[in-house]
Amino acid sequence: MHSRDQHADGGSTAGSAAPPKRSDAERNRGRIIAAARTVFGRDGLNASMASVAREAGVGIATLFRHFPTKEELVVAVFTDRMEAYAQATDQALADPDPWHGFTGYIQDVCAMQAADRGFADILTMSFPGAQTLEARRADAYEGFLELISRAKDSGQLRADFTSRDLVLLLMANSGVLSATGDAAPDAWRRVVAWMIQSFQTPARGPLPDPPQDAALYEAMRRASHVVSSPEPDKRR
């Protein structure tokens, strides 16, 4: 449903001359992205740029020439993982059982978080400058809305479930994952199972209102600022 363009090499604007990179440059770029995938996946987004360069076998300066800020590297690495995230909704929507599709999707997404600690961070952050990444997130969001709608229509999902509850679950799961780490690598499954069972009808009681969309967005936007160093505000 969503167009997947070529790697779009330089990323220069439409039509104009994309200056062809030298072969070693392109090779190193690939190595860097692969290394970053490994390191961020293992250590989360606060892995250092130096560790990525070491893993890639390139100098630090090389890394920064290809990706002038850490955020740009993060975005480059996780844009296509976000693609998989968006595709997971397609797969879930293909499930003939709406409830099974809905719960399977949630489990898949949480499993992605467990398998990639960097991605776990990404899912609770927003990068307003990264158009394609955010576009994929929006795709996924839309798909999830449809999943919700179908699951509610089938009568198996509580009527008071909202898309914000997925965000909250992702935040909760991220907390469990980073707290347990390698010591209890499957603990998250139990938490997610508790939550999913609670989403199921019949409702067992009222719930506090979910946060506003704008509030969640604001929280995710703030979180993304932790990736780069300088915290922009200085209280007092």
Partner DNA sequence: CGGAAATTGGATAGGGCATTCCGGTTTGCT
Partner DNA sequence: AGCAAACCGGAATGCCCTATCCAATTTCCG
| Residues that bind DNA in the complex, under the rule CB under 7 A | 20-25, 27-28, 46-51, 57-62, 64-66, 68-71, 228-230
User: What is the C-alpha separation between 134 and 83, in angstroms, rounded?
Assistant: 10
Is the separation of the CB atoms in 156 and 175 below 8 Å?
no
Q: What is the Cα 108 distance to its own chain's centre? A: 12
Q: CB of 24: closest distance to DNA in angstroms?
A: 4
62 binds, among a second copy, DNA, none (CB under 5 to 8 A by kind): DNA
Tell whether residue 227 is a contact of a second copy (CB under 8 A). no
DSSP state of 182: G
Q: Can you read off the two tokens belonging to residue 206? A: 């009222």
Shortest CA distance to 173 belongs to which of 119, 221, 134? 119
Say if residues 187 and 176 touch (Cβ distance below 8 Å): yes
Nearer to a second copy, 7 or 204 (CB): 204
Contacts to a second copy from residues 196-225, by CB under 8 A: 197-200, 203-205, 207-212, 215-216, 218-220, 222-223
φ, ψ at 231 (rounded to 5°)? -75, 120
We find the least distance from the C-beta atom of residue 118 to a second copy, in angstroms, to be 15
Residue written as token pair 């995710």:
220
**Cβ nearer to DNA, comparing 25 with 203:** 25
The residues binding a second copy (CB under 8 A) are 124, 165, 168-169, 171-176, 178-181, 183-184, 186-187, 189-191, 193-195, 197-200, 203-205, 207-212, 215-216, 218-220, 222-223
